[in-house]
Amino acid sequence: MVIRVGGEGGEGVISTGDMLAQASARAGLEVLTFRTFPAEIKGGYAMYQLRVSTEKILSQGDTFHVCVVFNGEAYEMNKDLLAPGTVLVYDSPGGDFQPEATEGVIQYPVPMTKISKVDLGSPISKNMVALGAVMQLFSFPVDSLKDLIKAKFKKKGESVVEMNLRALEAGAEYVRSHLKKVDRFYVQPAQPREDRIMLSGNEAIGLGALVAGCRFFSCYPITPATDIANWLSRHLPKVNGVVVQAEDEIASLGQVIGATFAGVKAMTGTSGPGLDLMVELLGFASMAELPLVIADVQRGGPSTGLPTKSEQSDLFLAAKGGHGDFPRIVLAAATIEDCFYLTIEAFNLAERYQIPVILLSDGALASRTEKIKRPDLSKIRIINREAYSGGGEYQRYAVTETGVSPVSIPGQDGGRYIATGLEHSETAAPKYSPDYHEKMTEKRFRKIAALEDESPETECEGDKDGDLGIISWGLTQCAVREAMKECADRGLRVRALYPKLVFPVPVKAIQRFASTVKKVLIPELNYQGQFAELVAVHAGVNAIRFNLYGGLPFTPAQIREKITEVIK
C-alpha cells in the first residue's frame, strides 16, 4: 500500500509521514518513503509518501492508493492522480476546500482543523488528528504510534505528550463513530524483526563512512547533502573523528586533501554546485595520488536549479570535470543499501588505488528512508593504502607495474616527500620533460586500467535472449527492477543490467550484455543522456535513450510503458 500525505511545509506533513513509517517499521513491516520539500523554509507544498509491505520494496511505486491532504493546495496538486479505487482523506467540514466528486474515488472527510482547534483547543495538533484518523482507517499499529508520540514529545513535557495522544485518539474516534470503511486498504500485521535498521540515504552514507574508517569530514552546507554532515557531526566524535564546516567547498575538499595526506581517511559531501567548485582540487588529488571520497548528492541543475529535487545530471562533471588528463572513479547508489555499502567501497577503492572516488547519490535517495537488513560488520572488508615500509631511498611515485606506489605519511622517518600538483619524477621532484609527463600520466591511469576486472561483477537479470536490454544507473534502477518484475509476469522478454561503477564505464559488462539483446535502452534523469553518451563513446553501444528531466524519479509504470513501446 502506498499512502501520500500532502500539505503546507511546516504543517506537520513530514512528521506525520515519518511517524507512520517508523510505526510500521517497528511493527515488522518493510517500509520505503519518498518525499518532496518546498525550497522555502516555511510554506509551499510538502509531500511525504510511504510505501509499506510485508515484502521487500523495490521503489517508491507508481502512484498512491491513499492520499491524505491537509489543505486545498495539496488537493489541487494531487487531484489528477486520484484514480478510481483510490482513497482521499481530507479536512472537512471546516477545511479550506471541498473536493470534486470523482467517479470511483472513495472520500473520507475528517474535520482535522475543527477537532484540533475547537474540540481540543490546540490548532497545532491538526496533524495528530489526521494521524489518528489514518491509523484507524488503515489499521496502522496503535501501540507503536503511541510509543513514538511519547518518545518524540517527552522532552517537551507530560502535558504535550498528553495533548498529542488525545489528538490521536480524537482522530481515531471520529472515524469509528462517523465513517464507514468502504475501501480495501489495510496495513497487514507482520513479525517484528531484530535485525533491521531504518535510515535515510544520507544517514547510510554517514554510517558507511564511519564503518569504512573515515575519521575526517569537511563540508559546506548544501541541499540535499547536508544531512550527511549533520549525522556525522553527531557520531564522528565518538570514534575520535572530526567534522568541520569549512568556508566553502574549495576549502572543504582542501581540508580533506590535507587530512588524507596526513594519513587519515577523509571525505566531503556536497551537491552539484559544490562539486563544480571542487574540480581544481580534484585534479590535484588525482595528480598527487591522494585517496579521498566525495559524496555528490545530485539535485536539479544547472546553477541553483531545483535544489530540493532529483536529477542524474552531474555524471559528466563527476566523470570528466577538470582540466588535463587524470583518473578518478565514479560510483552511483540506487538504494539505501547502496548508500551504505558503496560508501565503504568508495573508500576501499580510493585507498587501494590512491585516487579520488566520487559517490553519486541524489535528492530522492538522500531523504528517502527505508528499512534494511542490519549490516553484518564482521563480513565487511576494509582496505587501507599500501604503506611505505622504510628502507632505501624513498620514491613516493615509484613507477610500478600496477601503477600504485607505496605511500608514507608525515611523521614517518625516511618517508619525506612533497605531494605536488606539478608533473614530477619518482621522488616527487618537479619534472616537465615529455618522457616524464607521458610516463607519469600512464602510471596514474594504469592504476585503474583493470578496475572492471577487479570489481565485483555487474548485476544482471532477465531473459538471456531479450528483445530488449535496459541499462540503468543510480536511482533509476529502483523503477527498472520493479518494472522488470511486472514484465516477467506479462511474459515480455526483457533483460536488465545494473552497474554500480559508472566511470570508468564497465565496458566489458556492457558489451557482453548488449550482445545478448536485440536493442538497448538507457533511461536516466537528465536531458543530455549522460550515461548513454558515455556508454556510446566508451563501449561503442548506441542505446535508445529515455530521459526525464522534471526533477522527479522514474515510476515503474513509466519504464514499463517505454518497454512495451520499444519492444513493439
Partner 1 sequence: MEISQPLKPKDYKSDVPPIWCAGCGDYGVLASLTMAFSQNNVKPSDTVLVSGIGCSSRLPYFVTTFGMHTCHGRALPIATGIKLAKPDLRVVVVGGDGDHFSIGGGHLPHAARKNIDLLLIVMDNSIYGLTKGQVSPTSRPGMATTTTPYGSPDVPVNPVAYALVYGASFVAQSFSSNTKLTTDLIGKALNHKGFAFINVISPCPTFNKVDTFEYYKPLLKNIDEIHPDKGDKVKALSLAITMGRNNGEVPIGLFYQEERPTYVEMIQEIKIRNKGTDHPELGRIMDILRP
402, 420, 441, 564: which one contacts partner 1 (CB under 8 A)? 420
Q: Note whether 83 binds partner 1 by CB under 8 A.
A: no
8 A C-beta contact, residue 542 and residue 510: no
Stretch that binds partner 1, among 89-97, 108-116, 193-201, 352-360 (CB under 8 A): 193-201
Among 159, 177, 191, 240, binds partner 1 (CB under 8 A): 240
Q: How many residues bind partner 1 (CB under 8 A)?
A: 64
Residue 229 in contact with partner 1, rule: CB under 8 A = no
CA distance linking residue 184 with residue 498, whole number of Å: 35
CB of 236 or CB of 517, closer to partner 1: 236
Q: Which is nearer to partner 1, 24 or 92 (CB)?
A: 24
Place of cell 575520535: 240
Distance from C-alpha of 439 to C-alpha of 209, rounded to nearest angstrom: 34
CA distance 284 to 246: 19
Report the residue number, 39 or 262, with the smaller CB distance to partner 1.
262
Closest CA to 504 of 404, 381, 405, 357: 357
Q: Does 450 bind partner 1 (CB under 8 A)?
A: no
Rule CB under 8 A: choose which of 82, 210, 225, 404 binds partner 1. 210
Judged by CB under 8 A, the stretch of 43-51, 198-206, 358-366, 442-450 that binds partner 1 is: 198-206
DSSP-assigned states of every residue in 342-407: HHHHHHHHHHHHT-EEEEEEEHHHHH-EEEEEPP-GGG-----PPBP---SS--TT---SSS---B
- Which listed residue (259, 293, 334, 479) binds partner 1 by CB under 8 A? 259
Rounded Cα distance, 560 and 568, in Å: 12
Q: What is the CA radius of gyration of the chain?
A: 26
The Cα–Cα gap between 385 and 190 comes to 45
Residue 45 DSSP SS3: strand
With binding defined as CB under 8 A, does residue 341 bind partner 1? no
Question: Cα(249)–Cα(80) distance, rounded to whole angstroms?
Answer: 41
- Is 215 a binding residue for partner 1 by CB under 8 A? The answer is yes
Residue 346 CB, shortest distance to partner 1, in Å, is 18
| DSSP H or E stretch at residue 296 | strand 292-298
Exposed e or buried b per residue across 383-415, where buried means at least 16 C-beta atoms within 10 angstroms of its C-beta: bebbebeeeeebbbbeeeeebbbbbbeeeeeeb
Among residues 421, 446, 536, 551, the one that binds partner 1 under rule CB under 8 A: 421
Considering the complex, what minimum distance in angstroms separates the CB of residue 374 from partner 1? 7
CA dihedral for 68, 72, 74, 75, sign (positive or negative): positive
Q: Specify the residue, 294 or 552, whose C-beta has the smaller distance to partner 1.
A: 294
Grid cell 619534472 is found at 431
197 forms part of the interface with partner 1 (CB under 8 A): yes
Q: Give the C-alpha separation, 305 to 295, whole Å.
A: 19
Nearer to partner 1, 119 or 276 (CB): 276
> Segment 460-489, which members bind partner 1 (CB under 8 A)?
none
413 binds partner 1 (CB under 8 A): yes
At which residue does the C-alpha cell 517497528 appear?
26
Query: Per-residue x/- marks for partner 1, 278-297, CB under 8 A?
Result: --xx--x---x---------
Single residue of 20, 225, 257, 330 touching partner 1 by CB under 8 A: 257
Q: How far is the CB of 198 from partner 1 (least distance, A)?
A: 4
Q: Does 431 bind partner 1 (CB under 8 A)?
A: no
Nearer to partner 1, 299 or 424 (CB): 424
* Site for partner 1 contains 143 (CB under 8 A): no
* Integer Cα distance of 18 and 214 in angstroms: 29
Residues numbered 373-392 forming contacts with partner 1, rule: CB under 8 A: 374-375, 377
When the beta carbons of 196 and 446 are compared against partner 1, the nearer one is 196
Q: Which stretch binds partner 1 (CB under 8 A): 232-240, 355-363, 512-520, 546-554?
A: 232-240
Q: Considering beta carbons, is residue 342 or 522 the nearer one to partner 1?
A: 342
CA distance 108 to 174: 11
Query: Going residue by residue from 103 to 142, which x/- string records binding to partner 1, judged by CB under 8 A?
Result: ----------------------------------------
Q: For residue 426, give the nearest of 439, 413, 412, 414 by alpha carbon.
A: 439
Query: Hey, which residues between 393 and 412 contact partner 1 (CB under 8 A)?
Result: 410-412
Using the contact rule CB under 8 A, the part of the chain among 70-78, 135-143, 241-249, 507-515 near partner 1 is 241-249
Residue 211 touching partner 1 (CB under 8 A):
yes
Contacting partner 1 within 12-51 (CB under 8 A): 22, 25-26, 31
CA of 98: how far to CAs of 108, 431, 432, in Å? 12, 75, 75
* CA 62 remoteness from chain centre: 18
Asked if 247 touches partner 1 (CB under 8 A), the answer is: yes
CB of 304 to partner 1, least distance (A): 20
Q: Are the CB atoms for 551 and 310 separated by under 8 Å? A: yes
Q: Is there a contact between 163 and 120 (Cβ–Cβ < 8 Å)?
A: yes
Residues of this chain that bind partner 1 (CB under 8 A): 22, 25-26, 31, 196-199, 203, 207, 210-211, 215-216, 218, 235, 237-242, 244, 246-248, 250-252, 254-264, 266, 280-281, 284, 288, 371, 374-375, 377, 410-422, 429-430
